[in-house]
Structure formats: C-alpha cells, structure tokens
Amino acid sequence: MSSKNLRNLIITVVLSTIVVLGFFSVAYYFLSQNYIDRKNSESLFISSLTVSSNIQNKMKDDYQKVYDYIISEIGEAEDGETSYNSVSDAILLQASSILGYTLNKAYFSGDTIHIGNETFALNDAIYEYYTKPIAIYSFKSIIDEYVDSLNYLVFRIHDLVLYTEIKNYINPLFDQYSDLLDESYYLIFEKTGRINYIKDGYDKGRTLYFDYINRYNLSYDYNKLSTAFTESLEGYEVLNFSGVKSYFLYIPILKDMDQNMYIGFVFEYDKVNADNKYLINTLIIISVSATFVVGLLTFIFGYSMYKKNQDLSSNRFSYYFVKPMTITIDRRGKILRHNRSCEKNIKEFSLFENVEEFKVVEDDSKIMSIIQRQDAFILEFDSQKEEEKIYVNFIPMRVFNKYILIGYDITREHKEKVINAKIASFNQVTNLPNKIIFDKDVGNYIVTPQFALSNTSFVAIDLLDFNKINRLYGYESGNVLLRTMAQRICDSLSETFKNYNVYNVRTSFFLVFIKDISNYNASINWAKKIIDLLYDPIEIKEKYFIQVEAKAGLLNVDEELKTSASTEVIFENMNKSLERAKQSRLIKVALYNAELSSSFTRDQILEQDLKKAIEKDEFEMHFQPQFNIKTKKIVGFEALLRWTNPKYKFDSPEHYVTIAERNGMIIELGRLINEKVFSFAKKIENTGISISLNVSPVQLLQSGFVFEIIKTYDEHKIKSNSIALEITETFLMENRDNMVSKLRILKEKGFVIHLDDFGVGYSSMLYLKDLPVDAIKIDKEFTKYMVSDKITRVIVTRIVQMGSSLDLELIAEGVETERQSELLSRMGCEVIQGYLISQPVSEAEAIKLIEKYNGLNVKVETKVKDYKNDYKEILEETEEEDESSIDESIDDDSSNEDDIGGIE
Ligand code: C2E
Ligand code: CA
Ligand code: CA
C-alpha cells in the first residue's frame, strides 16, 4: 500500500470516525438520556412506593393499636363524645409505651380545643382536619393565636386528640429504609402544597411550589402538579428542587382515610446518574472502533444497548432494585416473571405458578381481588432459612394489562406487630385478657359440641363508683385495688371450678366464663361469694384500707340460648343483669331472665309502671334524721322517696327519679312528694325540726315551680324554716345565673336552702359566699374515705372551715361509724346524717325517733353500726313477707329461686 493511499485511508478513517462518533454521540444522548430517566424513575418509584406504603401502614397500625387500647380502657363513646377526663396520665403513659413513643393529649370540645390547661378557639382551617382519624399538622394552623408551629402526627379518637412530634415519628422510619432511599430528601405535604414535614429542612409554613419548585424553575407549570394532587395521583417530574436538578416523585398516602397528604421523594439527578457514567464512557470508546468496522460498530452499539438494559436490573447499575422482590403476573394471576430477590429470600419460589398459591396474611379476600383493588397485602412464605417464615409486604402496580407486585421483607415488623397485638389484647393493669380475647374464646366455644351438651355460666362483675375511688386516691391506688380484685376473683374461682376464664374488659369491669358446670347452683353460689369476698377491706396504700361494693350479673346458658348464642347476645345479656343489680339498692347478684331482654328494655317497662304508679300513688316518703352530735338532738329529717310496688321496692330512687326526669313525669311525681312532705312537716311543726326535700333539677328549671311550691307552702300554712330544699351543687353551679334569683325568692318566703352532694363536682367554694345557701351537705363519699385517707381528710377539713367562716350549717352525709362521727365533730361539723343514727324510716318511726332523742333527751349509742347487717335484716324480713319481689331477678328455670334475689 502506498504512503499516499495509507494517508487517505487514515484521513478517511479519522473523518468517518469523527462523523460516526458525532452521530452516535448525539443519537445516544437523545435516545439514552430519556431512556435512562424513565428507567431511573421507575426504579426510584419502586423504592419510594415501598417506603411510603410501609409508613402509611405503620401509621394505621399505630392508630388502631392506640384506638383499641383507649376504647378498652374507657369504653366506646356514646354520641361521639369520649370522656376526655377519663383518659388519665396513666392511660396516656400506657398508650405511649404500647406505641413506643411519647403521646401528648388534647381534646376538642365544640369549636374549641383544650391543650394543657388552656382552651383555644379553632379557626376555619380545622374543618379540613377535624373529621380525620390520622392527620399531620401544627396547632398553629388550626388556632389563629397559637405560637408553636411544630408539626405533629395527630390521632383523633372521638373528641380526644393524641399527638406526637412528626419529626420524632418519621425520622426513624426513614432511617430504617435509608438503604433504599440513599441520600434522598423526603417530605410530607398536603394537596395544597403546604409542607408539614421535610427531612432536615425548615418545614414551618413552607409550601412546595413557592419555596422549593417555582423559584428555581421559572417556566415550570405548577398546574400539572396541582391537578395530579387534586386527583390523588402518583407521579414524577425531573426538575430543579431547591435549585438542584432532581427526580421529584410524589405518592399520596392514607387515601382511603380521606387524607390530604402526600409523601414526596427528591433524588439528586446527578447522584442517581453517577452510576451510569461508565456506560456512557464505554459507549464512546466503542464508537471510536466503529470507524474501522461500521458493522462491528453497529454490533457493538446493539450489544451495548443490550448490555445497558441488562445492567438496569443488575446490582451494579441500580442497587435500588436489590431489596424489593418483584413479581410480574398477568390478569389471571399467572406468574410471568420474578426477580432474583424472590429466589434469594423465598424457599423454592420458582415452583409457584399462580398467585392463588400464595398465603395471604390478615385478609380474607381473594388475592386477585386485593391486587385488582391495588391494595397492599402481606404474604407468608417459607424462608431460605430452616424452619423460618418470611413475611413480605406487596404493593401491586398495574402496568397495561399486567400487574407488577413489589415486595418488601417486613418479617421483623410483622413479628413486632404480633407481639403488640398481644399487648393490645391484655389489660395492662391486671394482665388479664380483655374483651377482644373474650369474644374470640366465646366465639370459638359456642360452636363446639361441649357447649351444647354441658352447662356454661357467664358472670359480669363491676364496682360501683370505681371512678370516684380513682379520683380520691389517685391511679396508683386504683391500680392496686384492681389487681387485688383480679386476684380475689381468680383465687376463688380456682378453688371452686376446674374450667374457667377471667377477663378484664375495662377498669373495674371483669367477665368470668365458666364451662362444664355440674349444677347452676354452683355458679350462683360462687357469684354471691365473690361479691362478699370483694367487700373485704382492701389495702390500697400502706395501712390504708378501703371497702368497695361490687355487683354481679349472671347468665346461665339455657337450652334456648344454646341454639341461638352469639358473643354479642351473651355479652349483652350479661350486661343487662349486671345493670339490673347496679340499679338496685339491695340486689347484689342479678340472674339473667328473659324479661330483661324482652323487646322492651327494663327501663321501658319501668317507665310504663311509673306512669301508673303516679296515677295510683304508690309512693311513700321515708325520713332520715339529721342529728346534732353536740346537743344529741334531731335537728332535721331528709325526706327520701320509696316506691311501694313490690316489683320496685328495692330499686334506688336515684334510678327511677332519673327516668321520671327524662320524660317529665318528675313534675307530677314532685307534686305527690311535696304533698306528703308538707303534711308531715305540718305534723311536727311544733318540734322545730325541719324536713329537707330533694328537688330535681328538672323541677327547678320548670317555669311554674317557684309559684307552685309557694302555693303548697301557703296552703299548709307552715312556719318559716320548716322546709329545706336540697339542690345538688353540680346543678346549681351549672345554672348559677338562672337559679340564684329563684332561690332568693324561695328564701325570702321562708324556705331553707341546702347544697347537696357538696365537693364531688365543681368546687363552688369560691362562689359560695354569693349564693343564697344556708347549709352544705358533705357528700357521703368524703365521709366514707375520710378515716383512712389523709387527702380526703384535708379536703373535708377545708370544706368545714370555709363553711363555718361563711356561717353556713354543715351536714355530713353517710355517717356510718362512730369514728367518722368523732372526726367530723373534731373538725367542727356538728350535724350528721347516716346509718349510725338511723336509716330512713317511715313517718311513724320518725315520730318515735323524735320522742326518743328530743323528747327524752337520751344519749346516743356509741356502738359501731354495720350497715351491711342492717341490710341483711331488711332483706330477711322482706324475703319472708314478699318473695316475689326478690325473685324478679331469677331465671324461671333456676332450681334455687329462693336463693338468689337480693344477695349481698
Ligand atoms: P341523696 O340526696 O344523696 O340521698 C342520700 C342517700 O344516701 C339516700 O339514698 C340514703 O338512703 C343514703 N344513705 C343515708 N345514710 C347512709 C349511710 O350511712 N351510708 C350510705 N352508704 N348511704 C346512706 P336513697 O334513698 O337510695 O336515695 C338516693 C338518691 O335518690 C338521693 O340521693 C336523691 O338524689 C334521690 N332521691 C331520693 N328521694 C328523692 C326525692 O324525693 N326527690 C328527688 N328529686 N330525688 C330523690
Ligand atoms: Ca339529698
Ligand atoms: Ca346527698
């Protein structure tokens, strides 16, 4: 070859190299850059979806856990209002420990929110978040005057708001997925673009558009994004985010919970592409060789494109692919492809042919229907490790007529969840299983043959007034009380039965489930016994003993119930008998019978009977003396209502008075009562002893009340100060403006005003001096605990001191022991009312008492009276004279009818 020819060849080769190189470089750039962008964002999507779906699931899970726990502690709210006050710090602490982070509490009430000790008006923005169970926002955004702009994750349970700082919540979660996300940014924002959280950034009141996108992309059309947001679509953009060229991916979360939220992921463009650089370089070198052999070049180009494609799914190029398992399926569920991750993690994965062969966890729907809904789901597989299971959370993505399932190993989280579920099914104080487990156990048992063939009893046990005890003594002592209660129940069951379970549904509410009972007498007797055992003093603090009253409702399963039993029916019927026992003054164990569940509730029947009783006047007043310890004389009587109908003889007036109040019958009933009380007052007018009359709030609010009672007063022509009206403190305080003028008129007329149940509700101490009141009645709960509890004693001392300084008379209620009487007298309270002196008695008996104490001026007995025994006496008497009334609560089938009734 000549040198000239050689030169020409070289020139040709060089020129064609330059041309070909230029051509391929340009072609490559346009072809491949698009291609790479698309591929990159797809792989980034997979990581981002995995993370966002896991975060979303965690939020939902946490919400469910805390919801279940709160409801198990304080009960499901009626008419949407949770009693915020019953969510104690102890409950809050427990909820926090279940979730593993600190929760704070606030609560909504009308259009205000209470945070700490302060109350704030809500602004209009609140309505966007108000109805949502899970939300992320700052209080500043819902309260105009609020200063703190920290963003919180907020769980709402009825009116209760539990919140935790979003940063503390979300950072560890993202950290957990840092290998998937590399050093990307992530943020949480609302559909409006308002940012509620941004990793390491300033998130207070910033918006996506103004602060992060628009300023750096002047020509960028934000409409595209905001349309996607309003339609809750996911997507991605390549744009300058905060000035750095990035992939910006946005994924809606909590869609099914009606949230406005999005998680956004921002990956730096250069970083993502850095791993691709070597490909481009390789390509250039290969392109040079193409000048020598175009065919070879074409081949190499083709090869390199092929290789690039391969590399996209290889570890080196995009390690975003490493973690997730991906399975491609057709519309019928047939597995078309899967990645290596599947085989690496799952035992013999390649043997699966169709998704129907997979085992779905915690979801009963068919797997294909879950996939079609594009809901996330969890699958359980045998793992590559011997004897171990692997749990994989899959997110289905629809791609044309196929689905890609993107799976992420959540074995650790799943196990944790199972453990947490265990925590959620046990009462934290007593460690006994709760209602969730009760339902499960009962549900499983009632379908077995044993249930049909043997005897089963259910017992519901609850304390009267556990909340008061909690308030008086604090939660620590309350917990000691509950644990002792649980202990006593379990111990006595184990002595009596072989086959039983105990559950603690909430605070003092226990359920007992006894199987295989030889004779129902055994469960009836046990129920009576446990109530007695629970009455034994309980040491709640060192050397502080208290006595609590428990009631029980018993359900013995009969043949009929065997065929129709469900957990709901059993629970409801047990509750009805418990309610029955609680409503009664004397019955401590009520046995379920059909009447309790007839289409009318017991209250409805009572209401009808009450109506007739008012027409026929089946009422009597009993009178309980108020006794001056110094002068040893009776200074007054409190008139207490009794219904003489045998069916209701043992019902507490508190119960039927409440029902009468509810439907307005109290007005008519009140007239009957007034008539009786005024005529008795007239009879004893000369003794100077006054009679106090309980006046219901409904009567007081009625417009003609003052006029009417004054008329009755005039008709009987009684002396001034012969009648005292008892008004509850709570009611008076709630209706102060309205009531004060009414009371003034009554006082002028000659009525004495007593403030009943003082100290339990509001403390009206501050207002007391402005109220037209003559006496305060210290609530019997204070009397009950003042001997054993120092704090109660301090409160009573203060009430007495303040009462005296305002020249008010003091009457202590519920005085049962000499010790209480002594303490009160030392404090300066001279008038006592309670079983120590006498129970409420009939008119004739009351007159005898006047003769005994005031006429003959005898000394008071100093013997300590036990009111328990008093009740026994009453019971024995009445049992003889009137058995039918006691049998009200007995199932007709029961073989020991005379045995249950008003057991105490
Ligand atoms: P209250 O006004 O607080 O009545 C005091 C209650 O304490 C009475 O219950 C009385 O029997 C009971 N008691 C008296 N001494 C002792 C004691 O030493 N220890 C204990 N543990 N309790 C004692 P009762 O008669 O069952 O009445 C319950 C409630 O029913 C009353 O509470 C009152 O709110 C309402 N009530 C009763 N009679 C009437 C009435 O004529 N009209 C209205 N509106 N309400 C009434
Ligand atoms: Ca009273
Ligand atoms: Ca009272």
Pick the range with the lowest mean pLDDT from 196-210, 361-375, 580-594: 196-210
Query: 10 Å Cβ neighbour count for 120?
Result: 16
Is the minimum distance from the CB of 814 to ligand 1 under 6 angstroms? yes
Question: What confidence score (pLDDT) does residue 555 get?
Answer: 94
The residues pairing with 405 across neighbouring beta strands, listed in sequence order, are: 327, 396
Is the minimum distance from the CB of 657 to ligand 1 under 6 angstroms? yes
Pick the range with the lowest mean pLDDT from 255-259, 418-422, 813-817: 255-259
Of the pLDDT bands very low, low, confident and very high (cuts 50, 70, 90), residue 644 is very high
Highest mean pLDDT out of 3-12, 34-43, 428-437: 428-437
3-state SS of 305-354 is: HHHHHHHHCCCCCCHHHCCCEEEEECCCCEEEEECHHHHHHECCHHHCCE
Question: What confidence score (pLDDT) does residue 288 get?
Answer: 52
Is the minimum distance from the CB of 756 to ligand 1 under 6 angstroms? yes
Q: Measured from the CA of 639, which atom of ligand 1 is nearest?
A: 41
| Distance from residue 836's CA to the centre of ligand 2 (Å) | 17
Is the minimum distance from the CB of 834 to ligand 1 under 6 angstroms? yes
- Given a contact cutoff of 8 angstroms between Cβ atoms, the answer to whether 164 and 177 are in contact is no
Mean pLDDT estimate for the chain = 81
pLDDT of residue 319 exceeding 50, the answer is: no
pLDDT of residue 282 exceeding 60, the answer is: no
Tokens standing for residue 773? 């009141």
Of the pLDDT bands very low, low, confident and very high (cuts 50, 70, 90), residue 606 is confident
Question: What confidence score (pLDDT) does residue 713 get?
Answer: 94
Q: Average of pLDDT values for 181-198? A: 82
Question: What confidence score (pLDDT) does residue 1 get?
Answer: 53
The string of DSSP codes covering 449-516 is: HHHHHSEEEEEEEEETTHHHHHHHH-HHHHHHHHHHHHHHHHHHHHHH-SSEEEEEEETTEEEEEEEE
Of the pLDDT bands very low, low, confident and very high (cuts 50, 70, 90), residue 81 is low
| Distance from residue 756's CA to the centre of ligand 2 (Å) | 6
Nearest CA to ligand 1 atom 35: 654
Share of the chain above pLDDT 90, in %: 31
Query: What is the identity of the amino acid at 11?
Result: I
Of the pLDDT bands very low, low, confident and very high (cuts 50, 70, 90), residue 339 is confident
User: What is the C-alpha separation between 888 and 581, in angstroms, rounded?
Assistant: 11
pLDDT of residue 511 exceeding 90, the answer is: yes
| Distance from residue 820's CA to the centre of ligand 2 (Å) | 19
Phi, psi dihedrals of residue 336, rounded to the nearest 5°: -95, -45
User: What is the C-alpha separation between 445 and 436, in angstroms, rounded?
Assistant: 14
pLDDT digits (tens, 9 = 90+) for 103-131: 999 888 878 888 888 888 888 777 666 66
Q: What is the CA radius of gyration of the chain?
A: 39
Question: What confidence score (pLDDT) does residue 897 get?
Answer: 36
Q: Measured from the CA of 653, which atom of ligand 1 is nearest?
A: 30
pTM: 0.44
Indicate the top mutation candidate among 549, 614, 640 to test ligand 1's pocket, ranked by most ligand atoms within 8 A of CB. 640
Q: Give Cα separations from 392 to 269, 321, 421, 813 (angstroms).
A: 30, 16, 19, 65
Q: Which ligand is nearest to the CA of 726?
A: 2
- Given a contact cutoff of 8 angstroms between Cβ atoms, the answer to whether 619 and 669 are in contact is yes
Q: Report the phi/psi class of residue 4: left, alpha or beta, with left for phi > 0 and alpha for psi in -120 to 50.
A: alpha
Question: What confidence score (pLDDT) does residue 862 get?
Answer: 34
| Distance from residue 653's CA to the centre of ligand 1 (Å) | 7
3-state SS of 655-710 is: HHHHHHHHCCHHHHHHHHHHHHHHHHHHHCHHHCCEEEEECCHHHHHCCCHHHHHH
Q: Give Cα separations from 382 to 42, 324, 346, 349, 420 (angstroms).
A: 29, 17, 6, 9, 23
Nearest CA to ligand 1 atom 21: 814
pLDDT of residue 879 exceeding 50, the answer is: no
Question: What confidence score (pLDDT) does residue 849 get?
Answer: 95
pLDDT digits (tens, 9 = 90+) for 428-476: 889 899 888 899 899 999 988 889 899 999 999 999 888 777 777 777 8
Question: What confidence score (pLDDT) does residue 137 get?
Answer: 85
Is the minimum distance from the CB of 47 to ligand 1 under 6 angstroms? no
User: What is the C-alpha separation between 213 and 233, in angstroms, rounded?
Assistant: 19
pLDDT of residue 860 exceeding 90, the answer is: no
Nearest CA to ligand 1 atom 3: 757
Is the minimum distance from the CB of 673 to ligand 1 under 6 angstroms? yes
Pick the range with the lowest mean pLDDT from 53-57, 451-455, 565-569: 53-57
Question: What confidence score (pLDDT) does residue 381 get?
Answer: 94
- The sign of the torsion formed by the CA atoms of 786, 791, 793, 796 equals negative
pLDDT of residue 636 exceeding 50, the answer is: yes
Is the minimum distance from the CB of 780 to ligand 1 under 6 angstroms? yes
Q: Measured from the CA of 693, which atom of ligand 1 is nearest?
A: 41
Question: What confidence score (pLDDT) does residue 484 get?
Answer: 95
pLDDT of residue 617 exceeding 60, the answer is: yes
Nearest CA to ligand 1 atom 25: 640
- The more confidently predicted of residues 442 and 603 is 442
Q: Average of pLDDT values for 648-667? A: 87
Question: What confidence score (pLDDT) does residue 286 get?
Answer: 56
Nearest CA to ligand 1 atom 22: 814
Of the pLDDT bands very low, low, confident and very high (cuts 50, 70, 90), residue 49 is confident
- The more confidently predicted of residues 500 and 595 is 500
Share of the chain above pLDDT 70, in %: 82
Q: Average of pLDDT values for 219-246? A: 84
Question: What confidence score (pLDDT) does residue 890 get?
Answer: 38
User: What is the C-alpha separation between 98 and 68, in angstroms, rounded?
Assistant: 11
User: What is the C-alpha separation between 84 and 527, in angstroms, rounded?
Assistant: 33
Specify the 3-state DSSP secondary structure of 373: helix
pLDDT digits (tens, 9 = 90+) for 529-561: 999 999 998 988 887 888 889 999 999 998 888
Is the minimum distance from the CB of 283 to ligand 1 under 6 angstroms? no
Indicate the top mutation candidate among 588, 622, 654 to test ligand 1's pocket, ranked by most ligand atoms within 8 A of CB. 654
| Distance from residue 893's CA to the centre of ligand 3 (Å) | 40
- The sign of the torsion formed by the CA atoms of 467, 470, 473, 474 equals negative
pLDDT of residue 894 exceeding 50, the answer is: no
User: What is the C-alpha separation between 480 and 589, in angstroms, rounded?
Assistant: 24
Query: 10 Å Cβ neighbour count for 286?
Result: 17
Question: What confidence score (pLDDT) does residue 277 get?
Answer: 55
Question: What confidence score (pLDDT) does residue 892 get?
Answer: 37
Question: What confidence score (pLDDT) does residue 131 get?
Answer: 67
Question: What confidence score (pLDDT) does residue 256 get?
Answer: 67
Question: What confidence score (pLDDT) does residue 884 get?
Answer: 37
Nearest CA to ligand 1 atom 30: 654
| Distance from residue 40's CA to the centre of ligand 2 (Å) | 78
pLDDT of residue 45 exceeding 90, the answer is: no
Nearest CA to ligand 1 atom 31: 654
- The more confidently predicted of residues 690 and 766 is 690
Q: Average of pLDDT values for 773-788? A: 90
Is the minimum distance from the CB of 104 to ligand 1 under 6 angstroms? no
Is the minimum distance from the CB of 840 to ligand 1 under 6 angstroms? yes
- The more confidently predicted of residues 360 and 222 is 360
User: What is the C-alpha separation between 698 and 110, in angstroms, rounded?
Assistant: 25
pLDDT of residue 714 exceeding 80, the answer is: yes
- The more confidently predicted of residues 515 and 565 is 515
pLDDT of residue 42 exceeding 80, the answer is: no
Question: What confidence score (pLDDT) does residue 868 get?
Answer: 42
Question: What confidence score (pLDDT) does residue 723 get?
Answer: 97
Question: What confidence score (pLDDT) does residue 56 get?
Answer: 82
Q: Measured from the CA of 696, which atom of ligand 1 is nearest?
A: 44
Nearest CA to ligand 1 atom 46: 694
Is the minimum distance from the CB of 835 to ligand 1 under 6 angstroms? yes
